[in-house]
Structure 1
Amino acid sequence: DEAMEAQNLAESARERAAAAEAAATRSEQGRREMMERLRHLELIVCGAPRSATPSREEQGLWPTRRQRRQRGGSDYVPAAGTQAPAQESSQERRA
């Protein structure tokens, strides 16, 4: 009787393992399809797939937002060749 119960448990475990494997496969296929859709949309919007090109931050050319914050800077980075807007005093605003 115990042997039969052990056999039933083993069969149940095999079925659950097969179901988990099938779910993982579907999930991976879904992820691949989403990446293909993303690249397609990027191609339409940007003219080139952005996800295939590492960002300047990823290439290490620019510090990441986290690195800027850790150094006491802000998330704001002025565009190249420009300066951050000057802060006016409250008196200047009233005038």
Structure 2
Amino acid sequence: MKKFTIATAAATGLAAAVLGLAAPALAAPTAGGNAADTISQLEAQGNRVIVNRLSDQPLSQATVVGINPGADIRSTVRDYRNDDTYQQVVTGKVYYVDVR
């Protein structure tokens, strides 16, 4: 019974440590903001932005009317410490931004 308690405590501690080290997700902007600022913010977070213009307004004067997430962007990441390669690492997302 004592081994079970120690193993359970160790597993719980390890799970808490992993969850504690996880990076918080960055919130995506919402519709209604300035188009240029929204696009810049999304790109600064490592995302790819595809703009769908619904008017002839310059982006500095346009307003975001919709943001739709698309596919994940995956990249190959090299782990030199363990001499391994990970190919399924999500490094960003594609966003479709409708502006007017």
- TM-score, normalised with respect to structure 2: 0.30
Higher relative contact order (CA 8 A, sep 6+): 2
Is the strand fraction higher in 1 or 2?
2
Q: Which has the larger radius of gyration?
A: 1
- TM-score, normalised with respect to structure 1: 0.31
Is the helix fraction higher in 1 or 2?
1
